[in-house]
């Protein structure tokens, strides 16, 4: 059974070129066959034995060509199928790696929750401590200002020439 190129997926530029080349070869073989048939009609002039040998050679070449075409196209289909299968396997492997990566990222996120909570607690504690330090510094500055005011007012009371 000869190979039927219409059973293969086409539409690619390479397929069109291959099909055009096979069509050209088939057309050339058909032309040669017609010419041989015309020679057969003129066999009286050439002799039956020569015509029969040329016809047998032609049939042999045409048969080998068809076998080679069938074999070549089947090999192309096998290669295409193998490539598609390998691409599918690669895509599956990529999907598996992506799923494992997502799971690992989720686990790392969950395990780091105590660290994030601890960092938030430390940050909040620093804010409270800073607020308390600011308030304490403000009170201390206020006391120093009061003492400074008292000291300056008591020194102005003791200034010579003052009437107190």
Residue 158 lies in a domain: no
CA-based nearest residue to 2, from 57, 45, 43, 62 = 62
Locate 14 and state its tokens. Answer: 């390479």
Residue 97 lies in a domain: yes
Domain total of the chain: 2
Q: What is the 3-state secondary structure (H, E, C) of 99-157?
A: HHHHHHHHHHHHHCHHHHHHHHHHHHHHHHHHHHHHHHHHHHHHHHHHHHHHHHHHHHH
Quick one: 145 and 100 in the same domain?
A: no
Quick one: 38 and 95 in the same domain?
A: yes
Gyration radius of the chain's alpha carbons? 50
Residue ending a domain, among 63, 79, 111, is 111
Give the ranges where 42-112 is alpha helix by DSSP (H): 43-46, 48-111
Quick one: 105 and 88 in the same domain?
A: yes
Domain span at 94: 5-111
Look up the pTM and report it: 0.43
How high is the pLDDT of residue 10?
52
Quick one: 26 and 62 in the same domain?
A: yes
Residue 156 lies in a domain: no
Please list the pLDDT of the chain residue by residue as tens digits (164 residues). 454 545 555 557 777 888 888 888 889 888 888 888 887 777 666 677 777 888 899 899 889 999 999 999 999 999 999 999 999 999 999 999 999 999 999 999 999 999 889 999 999 999 999 999 999 999 998 988 888 888 888 776 665 555 54
């Amino acid at each position: 059974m000869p190979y039927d190129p219409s059973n293969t997926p086409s539409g690619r530029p390479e397929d069109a070129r291959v099909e055009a080349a096979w069509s050209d070869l088939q057309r050339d073989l058909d032309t040669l066959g017609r010419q041989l048939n015309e020679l057969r009609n003129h066999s009286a002039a050439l002799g039956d034995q020569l015509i029969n040998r040329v016809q047998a050679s032609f049939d042999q070449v045409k048969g080998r060509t068809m076998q080679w075409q069938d074999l070549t196209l089947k090999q192309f289909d096998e290669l295409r199928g193998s490539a598609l299968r390998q691409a599918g396997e690669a895509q599956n492997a990529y999907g598996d790696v992506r799923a494992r990566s997502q799971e690992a990222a989720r686990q790392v996120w969950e395990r780091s929750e105590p660290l994030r909570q601890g960092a938030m607690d430390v940050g909040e504690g620093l804010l409270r401590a800073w607020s308390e330090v600011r308030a304490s510094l403000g009170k201390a500055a206020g006391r120093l200002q009061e003492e400074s005011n008292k000291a300056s007012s008591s020194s102005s009371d003791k200034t010579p020439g003052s009437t107190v």
